[in-house]
Amino acid sequence: MFLHGTSTVNKRGHLEIGGCDTLDLVQKFGTPLFVYDEKLIRQKCRNYIQVFKETGYPFRVAYASKAFCTMKVCKIIEEENMCLDVVSAGELFTALAAGFPAERIHFHGNNKTRQEIQMALEANIGCFVVDNFYELTMLADLARKYGKTAHILLRVSPGVECHTHQYMVTGQQDSKFGFDIKSGQAYKAVSEALQLSSLHLLGVHSHIGSQIFETRGFEAAIECLAEFLAQLQDKLSFTAQVLNVGGGFGIRYHAEDIPPTEEAYIKVITDSVHRSFTKRAYPIPEIWIEPGRSIVGEAGTTLYTVGSMKEVEGIRKYVSVDGGMTDNLRPALYQAKYEAVLANRINEKPEEMVSIAGKCCESGDMLIWNIQLPKVNHGDILAVSCTGAYGYAMANNYNRIPRPAVVFVRNGQAELIVKRETYKDLITNEYIPETVNTLKNHSYMAERILGI
């Protein structure tokens, strides 16, 4: 397991994160448990800001909150002077509840509802990233109704395919996201947007995918966008103030992953913008990026308790933990790979090859296939690294399993930011209309039996 940020091995031979012994965290908060290194999150934010400042180009860095959205995270992003991307009213509500400045919020999404747009307009958010003609018309009508001028970017598809999992590719022509450039759809969208007095078109947005290591995709996308904007300037007299090239910057999940640094990503982007726009004598727009995974991914570690084990002689040994696809859907969804250690015996040498199984009633609930670990015992604490992005964000209640608690650690202090769900939480919004009184009695009995 690669140790990230402030992760170390202490004198007790235990994994320590942010100065906190993971075994002490387990004793206090239980498992499964998401542990975030707050210092590493802040360091990542500052890296992006500092590197961009050194380029001399006008810029804006927005955290893509879909990677992990809680009030605590929103507060950190605010304190680190970044903007925030949201893709739903739920994320918007979370940000506003945390006191995040509305003018620094950008609203994404391919199917924003009327209610979501109204909520965003009432909050006076900074920018809408418009995804389709339906949204364009609805936003213009609602902005006019509210007597507002909505600042927008149009999300366009440059027709660039990047090297990543097929479910993470979003910039190709055949995508549910954005206006396609090649077909002329994007040109038509710009033309229509410029005619709508309740909208102010700032520029265009493009996002080619996620977990991207090959930077050539950004170069190709920026060249395509520059050519598209030059055509708009020539034919529609529109000059973009903003060029948003999205995010998708990859992180190291396991030994095979070698992602570029923040500096490398930004250098490719800024060099490409300079080259593509200068040769067209086009004013270089403000450059926006949207890192999400690369801000929080490596900062998160999930702690599990080992339970049952099963050995299929000559084939495989299964080691089951008390979590799985309910707190980390990515292995089942993307065939994602992870590294792990026994947090309570981190200095011991590997002795056996095992596969880590989740507790859900699904054959596909496997967190890690074929990992070398010391001889595993019941009750060991397994620490899976780099689960900070799309772990808790995609957590669910399949098999009626409550979602885990989340703690942030820093300088030896642990702060609970999301409490563990209870069984009672699972039925909070349920009722049986015809037997309300019976239900109350059953609920009372369940509480007595389970001690909740």
Catalytic residues: 361
Q: What CA dihedral angle connects 189, 191, 194 and 199, to 10 degrees?
A: -10
* Integer Cα distance of 199 and 401 in angstroms: 45
For tokens 């909740």, the residue is: 452
Encoded amino acid at 249, one letter: F
In one-letter notation, the amino acid at residue 127 is C
Angular region, 184: left φ>0, alpha ψ -120 to 50, beta rest: left
Q: Which two tokens stand for residue 270?
A: 């800024």
| Phi, then psi, of 284 in degrees rounded to 5 | -70, 120
The tokens for 175 are 């995508």
**Amino acid identity at 424:** K
Question: Which one, of 237, 254, 373, lies nearest residue 306 by Cα?
Answer: 373
To the nearest 10°, the Cα dihedral for 257, 263, 267, 269? 60
Report the alpha-carbon distance of residue 27 to residue 242 in Å, rounded: 49
Query: Locate tokens 């030994």: which residue?
Result: 255
Cβ pair 283, 56 in contact under 8 A: no
Q: Which amino acid is at 59?
A: F
Give the end-to-end CA distance of the chain in Å, rounded to a whole number.
37
Paired strand residues for 415: 408
